[in-house]
Amino acid sequence: MSVRSPVITVDGPSGVGKGTLCQWLATRLGWPLLDSGALYRLTALAALRRNLILDDEPGIAQVAAGLSVTFTPGDDGALQIVLDGEDVSTAIRCEKMGNAASQVAALPAVRAALLQRQRDFRQPPGLIADGRDMGTVVFPDAELKLFLTADAGERAQRRYKQLIEKGMNANLNDLVKEIAERDARDAQRAVAPLKAAADAEVLDTTRLSIADVCQWALTLAQQRLAVRVIP
Ligand code: C5P
């Protein structure tokens, strides 16, 4: 009989700090990380490179189903992402690609094409799954579901800091606008809209430090799953 591997899902809106928490948890538990947003960003990048328009649902679903991508974790927990032999880890992180990802993510056939690929990441010893619908659609039977929220203004500030630290261009006013647009599209779409699973643990992180959020998640993981923590 096969034993199901445990999953911790981390969902929430753009810029809430899911990525930072997930990388930290993955390193502390020694579990791989599924960055599902990267799959939507990769789909958008590959579609744009093929000159597809972003509402060509069958065309983009085909691109999603055929993505040739590898994710390799680095020492710091960050993923190196290679698409068709090219390292696109940085190229997919710009806001333009975040917005394009959110457009292709609203297409039901694209979500369906990526579903099994995401579920295949569930392997021993366990998985940290970062996204919008990890706890509701992709892993509804996850052992622990976390959902982070924060004020939109605070999320724009965090995203701004993150982009500047990576040496990328950023404008705070544009980010506030883009985050609001992306929130609306992600929350209002017909398929797998952004929302907390009924059995998720929800945390408003607006006034919390990253360390506070990480400690909250680790304590829950230790309570719910007999996880071994790497010092
Ligand atoms: O998390 P990230 O900002 O990389 O996600 C980019 C976009 O991909 C999101 O704005 C959202 O529209 C989409 N996405 C999604 N479902 C996921 C992960 C990301 O729809 N599980």
Specify the ligand 1 atom closest to the Cα of 41. Answer: 6
Mean pLDDT by 10 residues, the chain (231 residues): 83 92 94 96 97 96 96 78 94 90 95 97 96 97 97 92 87 91 89 94 96 97 88 79
Q: Is the CB of 182 under 6 A from ligand 1?
A: yes
Q: Is the CB of 178 under 6 A from ligand 1?
A: no
Task: Quote the CATH superfamily of domain 7-219.
Answer: P-loop containing nucleotide triphosphate hydrolases (3.40.50.300)
Q: CA–CA separation, 157 vs 54, rounded Å?
A: 28
Beta bridge partners of 224: none
Cβ atoms 40, 104 nearer than 8 A: yes
pTM, to two decimals = 0.93
The pLDDT assigned to 2 comes to 55
The pLDDT assigned to 228 comes to 82
The pLDDT assigned to 1 comes to 47
Cβ atoms 207, 142 nearer than 8 A: no
203 token code pair: 């945390």
